[in-house]
Structure 1
Amino acid sequence: MMLAEWVLKARTLGASDLHLQAGTPVVVRVRGELSPISELLPAARVAEMGRELLGNEQWEQFRERGSADLSINVAGTRCRVNLFQTVRGAALAVRLLTSSTNTLKSSNLHPDLSKLTAAQTGLVIVSGPTGCGKSTTLAAMIEEINASRARNIITIESPIEYLYTNNRSFIRQREVPTHSPSYEQAIIDALRENPDVLVIGEMRTAEAMRLTLNAAETGHLVLATMHSSTCAEALNRMCMSFAAEIQGSIRAQVADCLVAVVCQRLEYLQDYQLRVPLCEVLMASSNAKGTIRGGAFSQLATVIQSGGEDGMWSFDRYRRWMDQKRDWVMPSRQVANPPMDTQPYTTPTPPPVAPPTRKPPEAPVDISIDENVDLAELARKIEKKIR
């Protein structure tokens, strides 16, 4: 099968991810669970898929570097693809994205998150572990702005996952390294391109974080993502990325420009057979800013617990809202009851071999004996009949 056929099959099963590796079965992730759906893939077939995706020139670069990122449309589905080398050979990790961007409502997020996009300046951080839907939440926030206000929005991503259509806003999407050699250079360039909103796909380095904070301080609304398990961990990680002697000034800078931190993880709703984001939200209240300046990040959980009137949400409080919600939106590519072939693939058991049938015994030889018959002739007849 070609990659497009595997993507179609994964989409039919309601999968979020597709994994292909030489010498192993094709694996899909459905509702967070991995299931093999094929026989072992030959190494040559996986390498052929990779070469078709990258082209000859980029394929040679991939062989030298050992990995490659790209986002493409495969069989009508927007996919983020990571191609990498393993001990078995080439492998592909394919994230199936929705064909179009979603709103906060269709992403099953709390409507209060729309308030974060109303800020004129400052920093909004969307955090969470890998694969928790940070990019989808970020895209929903961009669409919230795009539908309601005329803004110049510049996105910096690696790779570009969602393609936006200008509505009220004007959206310029840049990809690293296709359109700029690095996040750092792209952020510097963006500040000269008259943005109202700057979207940074991921703050990976201390320099990228420093430039992001500077952009948020200079009159822009900055939306960015980070990997973390809580809001406090996201802010602590950001500040600890800098040298010890300047961490105090960085904490002050973060406190001054912060709008909010949203940390999310995915939770499975058995009744709806649906995975939805469970969020923690830290708003930049005066109490939160003072805690950040003092570096007491461990106390931010208490700030969130007591900050309901400021629009903050703890995981427990957000879960109670989820328990009361009934109008969940089902993603178009998710099926409520996936076919049975999402079960682990096993080699078919051969049918039992029936024991050999025995030939029924010959009917007895009926020879009438006459007293005058020649016995030697009779013996020859019997021997001939048996043969």
Structure 2
Amino acid sequence: MKKQIIEKRQAKRFRTRFICRYIIEGEKEIKTAPVENISAKGILLEVDNPLPIETRLALQLDFPPAHKTIFCKGRVVRVEEKMRLSKYGLGISFTEIDKNDQEIINNYIERMDIDKILRKAIELKASDVHFTTDLPPVVRIYGELKALGNTIYTSEDLKQIIYGILNPYQRIKFEKELELDCSYALPEGHRFRVNIHKQQGNIEAAFRIIPQKIPTIEELGLPVVVKELALKKSGFIIVTGPAGSGKSTTLAAMIELINQTSGEVIVTLEDPIEFLFTPKKSIIKQREIGIDTISFNNALKHVLRQDPDVILIGEMRDLESVSTALSAAETGHLVFTTLHTADTIQAVNRIIDMFPANQQAQVRLQLAECLRGVIGQLLFPRKDGQGLVVATEILIVTPAISSLIRQGQTQQIYALIQTGAQYGMRTMDMSLLELYRKGLVDYEVIIPYAKDPLVFKK
């Protein structure tokens, strides 16, 4: 996009859509154009023909929050050639505006400032922020939901707020698919994973706060065997658990360990990119689906030609991506991915069940040969209210477990996990019991997740 810029923007702009009528100084013709965004200092019009910088205009703004027409004056300070054919963006700076009308615009800007809401969520140490129609923003703090202020947002408010963080390609994709995963960053660097969706026809969003610093495996409270898995030279490693269980954070800690200790080429395929890595001993290429490549499958088709040692696949969503990932692991690459399953054994079964019956024997053979381990995890609020603590189930593929996978007897794996402490294995019950005995979690919080609740009464 070509731009002609005379004055640098000094005020934060908010995407909006309403009609502006304007008259060029010295002329009589009234022209009409839609307003694309507004700030406390001015507006951006979408026009068919550009005007010279410093052109003076008389403006009539049909600004919905004012419930009336705002009459003011402005001058052209910026001209942008739009991506759409024969359209231009005209940046207008207010030169004369009534004090009350300026206050209406200022209040609107204050109300629609999503960055202010997100900064407050970070200050409160929230993990998530929910924007829902006819409710104030709601944050999740250590698992509990809490309203953030008393400001109620209408369906139109949320549409304006949410569309304001999207680029044109993202808006087109959302309007086509009615679902969108993307990322958002504050100017100071805080990042968010964002899901935009519709609910009863209303556009709404959930923001997941991504820690600025990638935590270490030790800081996350993960067992030592997780570090050992991260430093494998080849094979297939799965992190599984429900949404919000910290899978992405665990993978980031494992990738960062490789980055700090080994010279590898690491390629990540993410939707969207969450943690940002700084190359240290390794080269890291982070590719975002929809921006750097069309799809997971498309990226996986070409990733082996990028000379990778380590491949991170944000999520395996279908048979084709699983098949490619297994092939990469078989050919000497270290492949990380995530699944949404209740435990480690279900993760193994999920992969096998993705394939038709006539291919499952081959898939079992591939898994038996290349699967190195599965990390299952859950997050629980700490008893002292100081954050969350992770509980893990660890499956390490020993020769005995490899044989069970090959023979299709995965139902017997649990017994080997129970007795596999020397390999670093543990069941979820073992992890929950350890957290409970250390006084880190409440009995009532963890007991619904126990396979054998009687263990906690012994």
Q: What is the TM-score with the length of structure 2 in the denominator? A: 0.69
SS of the residue 1:181 aligns to: coil
Contact 1:18 1:26 survives alignment (8 Å): yes
2:227 counterpart of 1:114 = yes
33-42 or 119-128, which deviates more: 33-42
Distance 1:138 1:93 in 2: 22
Partner of 1:353: none
Distance 1:325 1:102 in 2: 22
Contact 1:100 1:163 survives alignment (8 Å): no
2:143 counterpart of 1:32 = yes
Of Structure 1 and Structure 2, which has the larger fraction of its residues in strand? 2
Query: Which residue among 200, 211, 235 is the counterpart of 2:324?
Result: 211
Is the radius of gyration larger for structure 1 or structure 2? Answer: 1
Contact 1:13 1:30 survives alignment (8 Å): yes
2:156 counterpart of 1:44 = yes
| 1:1-387 matched pairs, under 5 angstroms | 1=111, 2-37=113-148, 38-56=150-168, 58-74=170-186, 76=188, 77-87=190-200, 89-271=202-384, 273-322=386-435
Partner of 1:375: none
Distance 2:134 2:385 in 1: 36
Q: How many aligned residue pairs are there?
A: 328
Distance 1:318 1:145 in 2: 26
Q: Which runs of 5 or more residues in structure 2 are unaligned?
A: 1-110, 441-458
Contact 1:8 1:75 survives alignment (8 Å): no
Distance 2:369 2:360 in 1: 14
Contact 2:229 2:373 survives alignment (8 Å): yes
Distance 2:437 2:132 in 1: 42
Q: What RMSD, in angstroms, separates the aligned Cα atoms of the two structures?
A: 1.9
Distance 1:198 1:39 in 2: 44
34-43 or 113-122, which deviates more: 34-43
Decide whether aligned partners of structure 1 residues 302 and 212 sit closer, same or farther in structure 2, where only a CA change above 3 A counts: same
1:141 Cα deviation after fit: 0.2
Distance 2:230 2:267 in 1: 15
SS of the residue 1:191 aligns to: helix
Contact 2:263 2:281 survives alignment (8 Å): yes
Cα deviation code 1:55-95 (max 9, x no counterpart): 34532442232122211212532101111122151101100
Q: What is the TM-score with the length of structure 1 in the denominator? A: 0.81
313-322 or 12-21, which deviates more: 313-322
Contact 1:50 1:59 survives alignment (8 Å): no
Cα deviation code 1:270-314 (max 9, x no counterpart): 125321211000001011111111222222211100111122111
**Could you tell me which amino acid in structure 2 is paired with residue 14 of structure 1?**
K
Q: Which runs of 5 or more residues in structure 1 are unaligned?
A: 328-387
Contact 1:23 1:88 survives alignment (8 Å): no
Distance 2:435 2:280 in 1: 31
1:232 Cα deviation after fit: 0.5
1:320 Cα deviation after fit: 4.5
Q: Which has the higher contact order (CA 8 A, sep 6+)?
A: 1
SS of the residue 1:54 aligns to: coil
Moved over 3 A (4+): 55-58, 319-327
Residue identity over aligned pairs, in percent, reads: 35
SS of the residue 1:316 aligns to: helix
Decide whether aligned partners of structure 1 residues 208 and 61 sit closer, same or farther in structure 2, where only a CA change above 3 A counts: closer
Decide whether aligned partners of structure 1 residues 311 and 12 sit closer, same or farther in structure 2, where only a CA change above 3 A counts: same
74-83 or 243-252, which deviates more: 74-83
